[in-house]
Structures are given as structure tokens and as C-alpha cells.
Chain A
């Protein structure tokens, strides 16, 4: 019995080591079949390479350049016109702009905006399209996928509203994409899928991970920003990838869309090693149709490329509070983009009317006022199209030198934050806090939450409280999730009482995923996209409602319908939620263990069935055996 017991672990050990050995051996050998397969996979490329080598060995270069002979010189015969014809008025226009806002936290906020306007119709029947300033790749995307509006942003870092105030263009961490399609599109989902794949190629981003499980159709939060009154949200798709890492490979294709590239104008400042060494970086592309004149007789397409960056001053200033273009971007400006009709730098000097906070050099006499985010701001303007801006050294290096660190910031009126509460890996609770800092006005906000299906929201536990009292949302749009098909969508219109905090909580249960659905690093957690809070916030000054008047670009993105309020969109933090994570070597362990158990059970059964049993003489005892040995030595017959 003892022998039998000791035999089992040995048997197990032999089995395991044997199978391990086989696996190790097989892993070494797997490489060869794969290579084989890859060669087989694409016989065309194989053939091509073979062709190339054949060509090379024959002395033919890979790419053979030849001078072109023109046989039919009929076309050539026309004499070159000696007199210049009157040049046609281009139908496109390009503007560039940089806004610099010294922040109260001591950081510097720089916002680049590049706008291309083109009076054309992408939806025309004929396929011929001729691009001048507008990038061809985006134009083709618009016409192929019948896009009416496209907004895409890539953001690294989180915008800290309470320290920095409102940004000119808000964006959530990671990638965000929302698209309005033309109402001629029949299969919106298929078009959306194809569009995300194409965009992911254009911007070198993982937008191809956008699928039905993270796409929603908001009913109220994302209205078209351009002209057109189609508001049927069947043609709207919204998706975020909060996990997307933004880096140089996204910046380079973004810069390529600019007419001047990064060769001239403000874009020379966009050096990736400096831009990504910052607290916040966000780049975006917005395409929409806009009115050309106030009567909206002609429409044109607007491509707005924006790049927002917050530099940490203390990080790079070596103790001195000083900021300059060269220090931040390691470049100075020498010229405007020659294609730009306007090229300006705005420095926000509202908090510094007398120059007591900081000193700006070179000084400029040009001042401009603009209504931005419900406030009247004053800016120093540097017009790069004017030669004298650059002075005698032919280069512009803006310098801000702080004199005092005092000054307080106007608290942003609307602010929101979010966190996950609860313990354990089964249930949890999402808390969203919305702050209304307005002293006496209440205003409504639209909250949009898109939660992945693997957090199963218990919508009956949804509570909205402000100032300790229940706050009943006046509009709730909820679309429950379907496992592995679509996420939860929750939209609410909530009235925020003055000077209050409104708390929205909802409980959820964490789902168990299939083992192939986990990310490669499942213990990092799963991201839940920011919740989006859109609102018309009461303004202290009269806003400019004329959308076609000449205004700085940064103040003209969101259309303003009424004078008394302005549109604000606030994104909360994305959430990082842990899901119950299995041990991923488990499947193999389970296979091995089950097989062994089966084998052992089977073995004993087999033994029992096939062994023949017979009675054996009990063997003599130890004393008797020893006695027998001694008797043998003595020559006496054994007992």
C-alpha cells in the first residue's frame, strides 16, 4: 500500500515533466511552420520579391527612372501665354493662431488653432476633387463616407478645471470621436466601422478598436456644431477610447494635414520632444460645414485643427518664473505661413492690465478684446503677417517674466468629478459630482455616461441629490447594455441649484469576462470613459451671437445662440475599475489536472477489471527469515 501511495506522486511527476518536455520541444519547432505559412500566405509578395531580385540580378534597378519622351506633341504646340491671365480668386482660406494664457497655478496654457475654410461641396456627384489647402486625405474621407461633421481628439493628461479654468476646447483623456453622417447614409453602423478604420490609418491611432461595444448614439448631448438642422440622432455616433496613449506618431500625421506642414508659420513650434514634455497635451481635428456670410447663402467646409498644451513652469524654469517661446518650444518664430490669410499670437493679459503681474516683451500696442467663456478678456496681439512684428533680429521670441505670484482665479462656474466607490470585486458604485459655483443662478446640465457592458449598472439605484435633497432629473434617456454588443448609455438633464454640489450615484455589478476578452494586462484595470457634462452656463457679459463676424478663432468654436449664456462642455476623469481576474495559466492547469485525475481513476478501474487475483501464501515473518538464513549457513534445513 505504501508503495502504491508513493507511486502516485511519482507517476504525476513523470507525467507533468514529460508533457512539459514535449511542450518545450514543440515551442521550439513552431517557428518553422509559421514561417512556412507566412510565405505561403502571400505568394504574391513572394513572387514580387523574386521578381525584384531577378530584376536586380539582371542589372535593372528596383525603380528605373527614365526620361519621358513625349510623342504626341500636339498638346505641346500651343504657345505659352506670354501675358498672365487674371488669377482666379481661391475659394479656400487658411488662418493660424496661437493663444497663450498664463495660468494662476503658474503653468502656461498654449492653444494653437489652424483653420482651413473651403467653399466646396463634397457630396457632388462627380468624383473629381481638387485640393489646394484642404488636405486630400480628409476630403476623401468626407466624400466617401458622407460625413457631415467629424470631431476627433487625442489627449494625453487630464485637464484640471479647478486649477486651470475652462479650456478653449475641452477634450477627454484618450481618444474621442464623434461623427454626424449625412442623412443619405443607409447603413450607418457599417459606414462608422469603415470610417474608424480609415481614420485610425490616417492618425496612426488605435481607433480601429472602436466597435459596437463602445459606440453610443447620444440623444441630446452632442448636437451638430455646424449648420444644418438634422438632429436625428440615428446619424450620430460617439465613441471614446480612454486608454489611448497619445504620442509623436499621432502628432506627425496631424501636422501633415497643415498646408505649410511644420515648415513655416506657427507650426514650426510644434516640436514633439517639447510638446509631450508637458502636463497636458491635446490635439484635435474638427470638420463641419459653416456659413460663409451672415445670411448663410453659401456654405463652406471648415477644418479646424487645434492643439492645446499646458506647460509646467516649475518643471523647466529652474526656479525663475519666466516663460518664453524658445524655452517652451525650443524654437522662435521667423515668419508666418505664406498661405495664411491671418497669423496671430494672442497673449491673455486680462489679469495684468497695468503690468503688475508679469512683464511681456517685446511689447505690443495691439490689443484686442474678446468674449471667451462668459468673460471679457483682453489680449495682446502679435500679427505675424506684419514684418515689423519680428523686429530687427527677424525673429520673435515672446517672453513673459512674472513679477508677483499673487492673484486669484475666477472659479469656473461649472466643474465635475467622478470616482468609483465600494469594495470587493463584485459590486461597486459610480459617484459623479457636479459643482455649480454660481452664487445665485441655477442652470440645467446634460450629463452623458457611456459605461461598458461589463459594468452592469443597476439603474434602479440611480440617485441624484443636491444639497441633501433628492433632485429629480427632468429628462432621462437610458439604453441598457447588451453583453458583448453595446454599452450602457445614460443621459440626464439635471438642474443644478446655485452654489451647490449635485451627486449622481449608481451601483453596478462587475461581470466575469471570457478569458480571451481580457486585455494583455488585466490587473491594470479597465477604463470607463469620462462622463460628459454639457451646459449653457449663465454669462456675466453679453456674448457675441453673430457667428460670421471676424473673431479670434479660439472664441468662435461653439456657436452662441443667446447673449446671456455660453456653452461649456466638461469632461470628468475616466475611471479605472478592477474586474475579477482569473489566473491565466488556469486552462492548461485544468487540462493537466483533469487528465491526470481521469487517468488515475481509469488506471485503477482498468487494473481492477483486468488483473486476475489469486491467493498467495503469506510470506514468513522477519524473525523466521533471519533464522532461516542462519540455519542455511549452519547447513541445517530451514524451518
Chain B
């Protein structure tokens, strides 16, 4: 009787414990769970280890007189070289150069017989248009009169270059020797015209931390704007003294003439929108110093950083978009502080009277005291010479957009860019580095998002975020594949899509809901229920276990 009563109690305790564990805990778990859609984590992890391969196609065309007939029989042939560079433990780069050698066609020969290099360049372009990202190098004989004496390489406005075959290349050497001689020189042309290791590593700066040993290159990298699907360009005319100057600028015409061709050319890289405004009573933040020796006011390079701040508050951001803004300010000093000149770091005058700030824009000081005449009668009507202004702004725009104008190696002659302000190969260069930069940025965003979601377990992941992440990952994979295949245009396109999707996922407001209570707070709420329920169960379980153990010991003792 006594034993059975004890037994019943134990059974009751056990069954209650079983009900709590089998029904209660799963029920609680399911009802407090947050929705987390599936993310392609393994693919993201793969992307975190970025293996980029860049492929460049070069066509080397031998003009008449550069190869002997027996050499000529062996061409066309194709050579492929690969070069591998590890950037850091997570990022590796591989460059693949595919060089196809062939001899020039009759029409190309005709084109190469033009009197000057520029004309040859133009007629070669009309013969065939090489696709985005590829190059054609014409190897011309030593005696060719196309290039001036000391110039070995001529880089045209499009995707063609003329390469003078070296003097030591006498007829009679084997083709292998000839190719071995040409190969490094073609590589050099390629580095100028499509991509160099420096550009690519600079573009990867989002992923890779650089040791700050070379500040110059960091400054160069920081000058250009980060890659973005669109830019807003704002031209502002600052007139601090509308009482004495009535300024007129034909910004509409100037934009059409000078800026628009460049932007049309750059349209594969990003969308641009242009506007302009006039700001009155916009003062600079620094009082310029009067230089008696020149009877002019000067602004020091050191104080330039303080110049913009008061103006910037009035520039206004674009209310209608969130793209980065490039500001170009034209400052007309007031009558009392004019003329105004900018002094460089070494106390010399900056000839353009303009300066630019990395990733912000440029400002140009436009002195108008020359227009006053002998007896100025204020206000003076002044027409601003837009050609002069736009020349400066165009140069700044090229810098800020990252159109690199690195100095070519000796012996190179770079053709003057035409009306568009941008050669085709410059655009290619920009597209190479922008694609790589986009890929780097998008992978960083996606991996950090995945990491964040992994670390904070109770963020709700909605289906739309999962979808954005998947599409970003797909676009990234496509972009990487297209880079590998050498299709530059597609690569850029996919990398832009990847960046858009990854940013959209990362900044989705649904990730920021106030649903994240720390675990300790949650358990503080549960404690009044959990504690009184679990303590008796645990205690009686312990008791049952200890009793069972004792019984076994007793049984053993009995056996013994």
C-alpha cells in the first residue's frame, strides 16, 4: 500500500515532466520563433573568398615589312599568358592575356599608309570596331613615318595602338624570338590601355586594407568617387556680392557643349543628371590674405579645407535622389576682395585658379576685376567665359570620376582626346576598375549582411530580402564569370545589378524592426512561469533518480 502510493507519485511526476518536455517546450519554441527565410549561405561563403580572373583580348597585327614571308606562314597563332597575384588571404587575382597574332589585311595596310598617326587611327577605326574591352595593336616597321622619331608607341583615340617594331629586330630572326621581343611591349601597351595591377588593387580597396606605406597612391585612390549607379552633377555659381556684380553664365549651352558629350560617352558606367544653381551672398569660410607684392588677395592651400564649409550648407543635397553629388563651384570674388588667387603648397600660384577636393567636387575662382573698365559703375554686367570655366571643370570631372590620366611610360604618345573628352580605351579602363570595384563592394555588403544575420539570431528575414540576396549573389556570380570571359560590358552591367540588389537587401527597413529583445530580458519575462514550473519537476526527477540509484545499491548489497 505504502509502496504503491510512492510509485504512483513518481509516475505522476515523470508523466508531468514528459508532457512539459514533449508538448510544452516545442510549443513554446514554435510560438516564439522568428521567420527566417533561407539564404544562400554556402554561395555567399564562396564569394567571400574572391577569385577574380580578368581576361584581356589583344590582337596584334603585323603590318607589311615587319615579318618575313616564312614567318608569315606561321601566323595566325594565339598565345595565352596567365599571371596570378594574391592580394590577401581572401582575395586572389588572375590576369589572363590572350594575344592573337595575324597579318594586316590590304585595307588595313592602306589605312596604315596614311600620312599621320591620327588619320591612320581614324581610318582603322572605320574599318572595324573592336568590342568593348579588347585591343588591337598594329606592329609597324621601324622605318614607318607614321610616328615621330622618339616615339615608339602611339595610342589612338579608340582601342587601337601603333607599335613600332624594335630596331634590333632584323629580318632573319625566328618568329619565336620576334614574339618574345614583342610580348612585354604589348603587355606594356595593355597596361596603359586597359588595366594594370595598380588600378585593380585600388579598385579592391573596399575589400582589402592597404598598409599605408604609399600615401600617394592612397590619395589617388581617394580622389575619385566610389562607384555608384548614378551621379548628380551640380554646378553652382557663387556670387557673394550681387550688389556689384550681375553675373550671367550660359550654363545650359556650356553643359551641352562641354559636359554632355563626356557623360554620353560615360553612360555605360553610370547615369548622370546635371543641374545648376546660382547662390547669392555665399561667402567663403576664410578671409583671403592681401599680398602687397602682387596687389592681389591669396588663398593658401592649407586654408582651403575651411573654405567650403559655410557654402556647403547652402548647396543643398538633391532632394529627389540619393546618388552622390559632385559639386562644381564657380566663385566670383566680391569687388573688395578681388582679384583672388589660390596659392599651392609650395607658395606658387595655381595657374588654373581652381582646386578640387577628393570625392566632393571642385571650386574655381573666377576673377572679374578685368571687366570693370576705368570707371566701374556698380552693378557691373559680366558674362562669364564658359569655355575657360568648363575646361577646368571638365578636367576636375575626369579626375573625380576616376578617369585615370596617369602619365604614360617614355616613348608613348597618347592621342589628344577629341570632342568627347574621353578616348574609348579610357572608358574601358574605367569600366575594368569599376566592374572590379562593384564586385568587391557587393561581395563585402553581402558577406557582412550574411554575417550580421548569422550573429543576431532573431532578426526576421523576409522573403523579399532573401530574394534580393539571391539575386545579388546570382548577379555577382555572373559578373565574375563575364570578367573571366572578357565580356567587359556585361560584367559591368551585372556588377551594377549586384550592387543595387545587395544595397537594397542591406538597407531594407524590415531588418530594423524593434523585435530584437536580448535573451536575458526575454527570460526575465518567462521566469515567473518557468521557475515555479521547473523547480518541482527537476527536484522530483532528482529525487526519483537518487532513489532509483539507492535501490540499485541496496539490491547489489542484497546480492552480495
| Chain B residues closer than 8 Å to A339, beta-carbon distance | 242, 280
* Complex partner residue of A67 from B276, B344, B540, CB under 8 angstroms: B344
| Chain A residues closer than 8 Å to B274, beta-carbon distance | 127-128
* Complex partner residue of A75 from B10, B388, B518, B531, CB under 8 angstroms: B388
- Cβ < 8 Å to A, chain B residues 79-97: none
Known interface pairs A47-B206, A70-B395, A598-B529; A64-B357 also in contact (CB < 8 Å): yes
Tell which of B40-48, B149-157, B289-297, B347-355 binds the partner. B347-355
Answer yes or no: B255 CB below 8 A from chain A CBs. Answer: yes
Answer yes or no: A424 CB below 8 A from chain B CBs. Answer: no
Is the CB–CB distance between B16 and A41 below 8 Å? no
Nearest residue (CB) in A for B256 is A128
Answer yes or no: A35 CB below 8 A from chain B CBs. Answer: no
Answer yes or no: A611 CB below 8 A from chain B CBs. Answer: yes
- Cβ < 8 Å to A, chain B residues 266-281: 273-278, 280-281
| Chain B residues closer than 8 Å to A74, beta-carbon distance | 391, 416
Known interface pairs A60-B215, A78-B387, A141-B319; A130-B275 also in contact (CB < 8 Å): yes
Answer yes or no: A618 CB below 8 A from chain B CBs. Answer: no
Nearest residue (CB) in A for B13 is A610
In the bound assembly, the distance between CA atoms of A108 and B243 in angstroms comes to 32
| Chain B residues closer than 8 Å to A335, beta-carbon distance | 243
Nearest residue (CB) in A for B215 is A58
Answer yes or no: A59 CB below 8 A from chain B CBs. Answer: yes
Is the CB–CB distance between A65 and B242 below 8 Å? no
* Complex partner residue of A87 from B218, B248, B318, CB under 8 angstroms: B248
Is the CB–CB distance between A338 and B521 below 8 Å? no
Known interface pairs A19-B528, A26-B520, A609-B9; A140-B318 also in contact (CB < 8 Å): yes
| Chain B residues closer than 8 Å to A201, beta-carbon distance | 319
Answer yes or no: A595 CB below 8 A from chain B CBs. Answer: yes
Answer yes or no: A625 CB below 8 A from chain B CBs. Answer: no
Answer yes or no: B258 CB below 8 A from chain A CBs. Answer: yes
Interface centre among A74, A76, A88, A610, by most chain B C-beta atoms within 10 angstroms, is A610
| Chain A residues closer than 8 Å to B251, beta-carbon distance | 130
Nearest residue (CB) in A for B236 is A136
Nearest residue (CB) in A for B349 is A67
Cβ proximity bits B310-336 to A, threshold 8 Å, 1 near / 0 not: 000010101111000000000000000
Cβ proximity bits A128-167 to B, threshold 8 Å, 1 near / 0 not: 1111110111001101110000000000000000000000
| Chain A residues closer than 8 Å to B278, beta-carbon distance | 131-133
Cβ proximity bits A53-72 to B, threshold 8 Å, 1 near / 0 not: 01101111101111111111
In the bound assembly, the distance between CA atoms of A201 and B391 in angstroms comes to 35
Known interface pairs A67-B354, A599-B533; A41-B452 also in contact (CB < 8 Å): yes
In the bound assembly, the distance between CA atoms of A16 and B527 in angstroms comes to 9
Is the CB–CB distance between A130 and B528 below 8 Å? no
Nearest residue (CB) in A for B387 is A78
Is the CB–CB distance between B218 and A55 below 8 Å? yes
Known interface pairs A26-B520, A55-B218; A263-B281 also in contact (CB < 8 Å): yes
Nearest residue (CB) in B for A85 is B383
| Chain A residues closer than 8 Å to B512, beta-carbon distance | 41
Is the CB–CB distance between A30 and B518 below 8 Å? yes
Is the CB–CB distance between B385 and A71 below 8 Å? no
* Complex partner residue of A64 from B2, B222, B444, CB under 8 angstroms: B222
Q: What are 26 A-B contacts defined by CB distance under 8 Å?
A: A19-B528, A22-B524, A27-B521, A54-B218, A55-B218, A60-B218, A63-B357, A65-B304, A66-B355, A67-B342, A71-B395, A72-B391, A74-B391, A75-B394, A76-B387, A78-B387, A81-B383, A87-B246, A87-B383, A128-B252, A136-B234, A136-B316, A137-B319, A140-B318, A610-B540, A613-B5
A-B interface, 10 closest residue pairs, ranked by CB to CB distance from nearest: A75-B391, A599-B532, A595-B528, A58-B212, A67-B350, A144-B320, A26-B520, A263-B281, A65-B304, A595-B529
On A, residues with C-beta under 8 Å from B are 11, 15-16, 18-19, 22-23, 25-27, 29-30, 33, 37, 40-41, 43-44, 47, 50-51, 54-55, 57-61, 63-76, 78, 80-81, 84-85, 87-88, 127-133, 135-137, 140-141, 143-145, 198, 201-202, 256, 259-261, 263-264, 335, 338-339, 588, 591-592, 595-596, 598-600, 602-603, 606-607, 609-614
On B, residues with C-beta under 8 Å from A are 2, 5-6, 8-10, 12-13, 16, 205-206, 209-210, 212, 215, 218-219, 222-223, 234, 242-243, 246, 248, 250-252, 255, 258, 273-278, 280-281, 301, 304-305, 314, 316, 318-321, 342, 344, 350-352, 354-358, 360, 362, 364, 371, 379, 381-383, 385, 387-388, 390-392, 394-396, 399, 405, 416-417, 421, 444-445, 448, 451-452, 455-456, 512, 516, 518, 520-521, 523-525, 527-529, 531-533, 536-537, 540
